[in-house]
């Protein structure tokens, strides 16, 4: 096979290793998630207390840390989104960290969405000739039926993929590299594309111009 001119990190994260959190493990993760919510700077908004159970997403491990994303709704009608991450110590999971944000832009208010996506940059990757990529954690749910696998693509090159587990998925992939940005695609078991979404939404005013 000849050398490639698309030299970029691909499939860098370990695939999910555990079932979705439940029981005592979910309680442990939930404690860190709720503490981060309580410390959240709400920018003057009254987001309220969590009003639903925390929904956990498949785990992905990159750079020695495992990331487990989560979302929950609040009494104020917001969605809280984020992740809990940790390292594997000699005595088990250690060095827990949690990061959260909130949004009022919900899937039910956007009937045109086909994937409900959340994302956060967790690292940087340095490539050739001074180019660098954001290593982006992406998690979400399909809003159309029949999907079994989700891929992250950079300039039509698949750089990560994840099985859909209980209608949830998690990706870790390079983004914003050499002018290329991620597209997330949903596939059925026959390999047919069901949906695609960019992480970047153009401003409507800019589109009109």
Q: Is residue 164 part of a domain?
A: yes
Q: Is residue 66 part of a domain?
A: yes
Q: Is residue 79 part of a domain?
A: yes
Q: Is residue 13 part of a domain?
A: no
Beta bridge partners of 86: 66
pLDDT of residue 43: 77
Q: Is residue 114 part of a domain?
A: yes
DSSP 168: B
* pLDDT band (50, 70, 90) for residue 115: very high
- Taking 60 as the threshold, does the pLDDT of residue 77 lie above it? yes
pLDDT tens for 137-159 read 999 999 999 999 999 999 999 99
- Taking 60 as the threshold, does the pLDDT of residue 204 lie above it? no
pLDDT of residue 3: 78
Query: For residue 87, what are the CA distances in angstroms to 29, 66, 80, 120, 151?
Result: 13, 6, 23, 18, 25
pLDDT of residue 5: 73
How many folded domains does the chain comprise? 1
Q: Which of 114, 119, 205 is nearest to 160 (CA)?
A: 119
Q: Is residue 15 part of a domain?
A: no
Domain coverage including residue 42: 23-199
Pick 185 or 206 by higher pLDDT.
Answer: 185
Q: Is residue 10 part of a domain?
A: no
Query: For residue 26, what are the CA distances in angstroms to 70, 100, 106, 130, 146?
Result: 11, 17, 24, 41, 28
Q: Which of 168, 167, 173 is nearest to 153 (CA)?
A: 173
Contacts of 207 (CB under 8 A, 6+ apart): none
pLDDT tens for 40-57 read 988 788 898 999 999 999
DSSP 51: -
Question: What pTM does this model have?
Answer: 0.93
Query: For residue 57, what are the CA distances in angstroms to 43, 46, 52, 82, 178?
Result: 27, 26, 15, 10, 30
First CA to last CA across the chain, in angstroms? 45
Q: Is residue 195 part of a domain?
A: yes
Beta bridge partners of 98: 84
- Taking 50 as the threshold, does the pLDDT of residue 203 lie above it? no
Distance (Å, rounded) from C-alpha 183 to C-alpha 207?
Answer: 19
Average pLDDT, the chain: 93
């Amino acid at each position: 096979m000849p050398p490639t001119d698309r030299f970029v990190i691909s499939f860098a994260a370990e695939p999910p290793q555990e079932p979705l959190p439940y029981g005592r493990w979910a309680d442990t993760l939930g404690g860190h998630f709720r503490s981060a919510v309580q410390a959240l700077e709400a920018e003057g908004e009254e987001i309220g207390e969590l009003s639903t159970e925390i929904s956990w997403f498949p785990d992905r491990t990159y750079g020695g840390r495992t990331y487990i994303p989560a979302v929950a709704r609040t009494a104020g009608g917001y969605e809280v989104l984020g992740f809990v991450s940790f390292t594997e110590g000699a005595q088990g999971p250690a060095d827990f960290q949690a990061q959260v944000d909130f949004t009022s832009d919900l899937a039910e208010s956007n009937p045109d969405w086909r994937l409900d996506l959340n994302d956060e940059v967790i690292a940087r990757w340095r490539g050739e000739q001074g180019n660098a990529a954001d290593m982006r954690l992406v998690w979400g749910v399909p809003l159309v039926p029949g999907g079994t696998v989700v891929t992250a693509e950079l300039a039509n090159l698949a750089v990560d993929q994840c099985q859909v587990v209980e209608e949830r998925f998690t990706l870790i992939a390079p983004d914003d590299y050499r002018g290329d940005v991620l597209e997330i695609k949903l596939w059925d078991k026959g390999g047919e594309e069901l949906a695609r979404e960019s992480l970047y939404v153009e401003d409507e005013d800019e589109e009109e111009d």
